[in-house]
A and B are shown apart, each in its own frame.
Chain A
Amino acid sequence: MRSYLDLIPISYKVHKKQSLMTRFCIILAVFLITAIFGMADMEIRSQNVQAKWNYGEWHAALKGMDDEQAEMISMWPEVFASTRYDTLNYRLGLDYKVEGKKAVIAGLDESALDIFPSMKIMEGGFPSAPGEVLVDDNMRKQLTLSIGDKITLKTPENTEKIYSISGITENFPLLMKRDVYGLMMNMDDFRQLSLKNAEDNYDSILYIRFLPWCNIQKTISKIQNQFQLPDDKITRNEILLATMAQSRDSTIIYFYTAAGVLAVLVSIAGSLMITGSLNSNIAQRTEFFGMLRCLGATKKQVTRFVRKEALSWCKSAVPIGLIAGTVVVWILCAALKVLSPRYFVGMPDFGISIIGIICGAVIGVLTVILAALAPARRAAKVSPLTAVSGNADSQVIIRKAANTRFFKIDTALGVHHAMGRRKNFILMSGSFAFSIILFLAFTTMVDFMNHAITPLRPYNPDISLVSENNTLSIDNELVKKLTGIPDIKRVYGRMFAYDIPAQTAKGEMTVNLISYEELQFGWAEDSLIEGSLKEAVNGNGVLTVYNQSNPIKPGEKITADFGNGVRKITVSGVLSDCPFNVEEGEGILICSEALFRSMTGEKDYTIIDLQLKKNADDGISDEIRALAGKNVQLSDMRMDNAQARGASLAFALFVYGFLAVIAMIAVFNIINSIAMSVYARMKQYGAMTAIGMDSMQLLKMIAAEAITYGVSGIISGCILGLPVNRFLYQYLVTQRWGEQWYIPLSSLGIIILIVVFAVLLAIIKPAEEIRNMSVADIISWQ
Chain B
Amino acid sequence: MSTPIIETDGLTREFRVRDALRRRTLVAVDDLSLRVAPGEAVGYIGANGAGKSTTIKMLTGILVPTRGSVTTCGLRPVQDRRRLARQVGVVFGQRSQLWWDLPVRESFRILAAIHGLSASEEASRTEELVERLEMAEFLATPVRQLSLGQRMRGEVAAALLHSPRLVILDEPTIGLDVLSKQRLREFLVAERRTHGTTLLLTTHDMGDVERLCDRVLVIDRGRLAYDGDLPGLSRTVGAERVLVVDLAEPVDDLTGIPSTRHLTSEGHGLRQRLAFDAEATTAARVLAAVSERAEVLDLTVEEPDIEDVVRRIYAARR
A and B form one complex: no
| Interface residues in chain A, defined as those with a beta carbon under 8 Å from any beta carbon in chain B | none
| Interface residues in chain B, defined as those with a beta carbon under 8 Å from any beta carbon in chain A | none
